[in-house]
């Protein structure tokens, strides 16, 4: 049984699909960082020396300059901060 080899056009289509998916994910990450900054404005995103950078300081223009991994780290930081500030502790299953 012969396997069908991919052509240049097949690779181009796959590449375009991957790039499109990546751009969509990056846009979702940016929107989520901004959304969390609005929901939790007092969350400490980063600490530089004695200065604490809070989520309310995040602007869309600045967030767009970050790498996807930096955006994910900010999301994780805000979620962790939010979890620590919760008054009600739910049991984890």
Q: Which residue has the tokens 């790498």?
A: 67
Residue spans per domain, the chain: 9-85
**Distance of alpha carbon 29 from alpha carbon 63, whole angstroms:** 9
pLDDT digits (tens), the chain, 93 positions: 567 888 999 999 999 999 999 999 999 999 999 999 999 999 998 888 888 889 998 999 999 999 999 999 999 999 999 888 876 656 666
Ramachandran area for residue 49 (φ above 0: left; ψ -120 to 50: alpha; else beta): left
CB 85 within 8 A of CB 44: no
Structure tokens at 15: 């590449």
What is the phi/psi pair of residue 92, to 5°?
-90, 135
pTM: 0.79
């Amino acid at each position: 049984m012969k396997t069908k080899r991919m052509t240049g056009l097949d690779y181009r289509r796959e590449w375009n699909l991957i790039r499109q998916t990546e751009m969509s994910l990056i846009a979702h990450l940016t929107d989520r960082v901004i959304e969390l900054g609005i929901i939790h404005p007092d969350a400490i995103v980063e600490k530089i020396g004695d200065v604490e950078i809070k989520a309310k300081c995040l602007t869309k223009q600045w967030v767009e300059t970050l790498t996807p991994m930096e955006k994910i780290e900010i999301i994780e930081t805000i979620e962790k901060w939010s979890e620590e500030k919760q008054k009600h502790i739910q049991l984890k299953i």
